[in-house]
Amino acid sequence: MTATDPALTALSQGWCALSLLHGRIEAHIERALQAKHDLSVREYSLLDVLSRQHDGEGGHLQMKQVADAVVLSQSATTRLVTRLEDRGLLSRYLCPTDRRGIYTNVSEAGLALLREARPTNERALREALDAAAENPELAPFVRAVEGLQVPA
């Protein structure tokens, strides 16, 4: 492959279009969540991921798993957890079976905020996808996203 290879150019163009779609969606959701709930997209994502934990086997996530789920470094995730804990939206506790492990749970206030913010997130996502679908370069990606069947 050379730098002028048409396949490489198409691949690069596809990646740029996908990146553009992601950026537009994230910016639109960010504005909506900030305006109505004083939450960033990352804060919303963290609350959402942590709210899905359960007490069964493997139900609690370690910080690395949380970081992977919200697409942040472990240190950035820890700072984000601390900010939300300071707001009373999360709490941390020691793992009962391994005192070295620390788990994070969403507080009642965090769950309430997440319930309030979820429709805003969904509405903003729909708006961003609808707007992107009007762009011929982004429309195929929008169709792909809309066609995803993610297992629960």
Give pLDDT, residue 24.
96
- Nearest partner of 95 among 34, 53, 47, 136, judged by Cα: 53
CA count, 13 A, side-chain hemisphere, 83? 14
**35-39, 52-56, 118-122, 135-139, range with the lowest pLDDT:** 52-56
Rounded to whole angstroms, the Cα distance separating 38 from 132 reads 25
**46-55, 58-67, 129-138, range with the lowest pLDDT:** 58-67
pTM (predicted TM-score): 0.87
Q: What's the chain's average pLDDT?
A: 90
Q: Return the DSSP state at 127.
A: H
